Structure 1
């Protein structure tokens, strides 16, 4: 017995629908237009359908093309992305992606996959995504490389995360680290139990000289958060005093990093008194 469909019956439009006459009228209008105007009223329909535009819209297309002769041309060209190409709306012409744009889109795609795999604890699969992209001749950018380091941390593979950072951002690496990449490496060291404080402090000390990155409040917030979690109050106070001596004031997340410890909350108000007073005066 043939299977019956539960979908409602759909009545296809008859061949003698008003659309046929509308299309004929549109084509007649098209023949009276200049080549520039005619370009705006072309109706393109894939072979699988009878029409793609309702009749009312077809008349609007023709009318807008005629009116374009007296309408001012837009100064800027609106461009939207569609199916991997950039479609120029006012010229109605598809422009393929350049090789540079294609590679950038590929990097973004791989970065998204790597982040998802990291959240799922699949460090090896995240590394494989990067390898496949590089085999295509596309080198990762800073965002993609940082995403891979972070994915390995989230998967609990800190040793691999450190190795990948050295591969891309080390002395022989092709990429230049920024504060986001450095913060990711610090989280790698901090994720160890206990945290690798000699490595952490050596990295902070060498950031400006070796990587030309000035430590920021965001960098110190990572370390203060680790101290709060491990109840290392003495080290946290030393870090806050180091920030104050280097004229690095707290930001919105600094207090959140240490708020779980009362001792640190009190020290925060004492050490950063001049910064907090300045904020109050303003």
Structure 2
């Protein structure tokens, strides 16, 4: 019924609890979850989760906030993307929130890493999982520049596609992402009392362009805020969207699951 489009079951808080999490997912009618890679050093663990458990799928990527890690080459991403049950490229994007004394100009390494992921997405045809924090202008500008938009993909590659995950940006940023035919994914933040502005953004985004996620182990939705999150709690995000849209939660589950299946279409192809 529900799909958690973004979780981190390889993280220590959750890795030793996989059987219990899978049981909780089943009870909550969460049929599938996509385990997101944040660095190459953890990819084998992420991929093993997907290979060992039918409800789980994987991506390959290096998070923009990961500085002291193996820098991914295009070949690194392409080789891992070719493995079974890998359905997306990312988590990638830009994050200028923690500059730690650096300037935005100093973050060119992030921008180059992001371009490498975009190229991998285009070469494989897999969707990008985009993270952006305090960097939306550059995130969008580089996506337009490197993603094949406006050029008619004259290099012979498809234009980029994907999702802006754990969305916390403005309606203007959401509109720009939608104009690029990207999806918007909302997390448990949507249920927080101080997230009224974000709920207005969710009201603006068409249901046909929305995914739901936990970003677990973080951002547990109300009424579980402050606790360790896991994919079984993603229905609370769907319920909040249902309230915003004035729809039954079953309809939100149906449409967001169909959206996830459409975007991460390799998940459906390999399930057959």
Larger C-alpha radius of gyration, 1 or 2? 1
Structure with more of its chain in helix, by fraction: 1
Structure with more of its chain in strand, by fraction: 2
Instruction: Mark yes or no: TM-score above 0.5.
Output: no
> TM-score when scaled to structure 1?
0.31
Which is bigger in relative contact order (C-alpha 8 A, separation at least 6)?
2
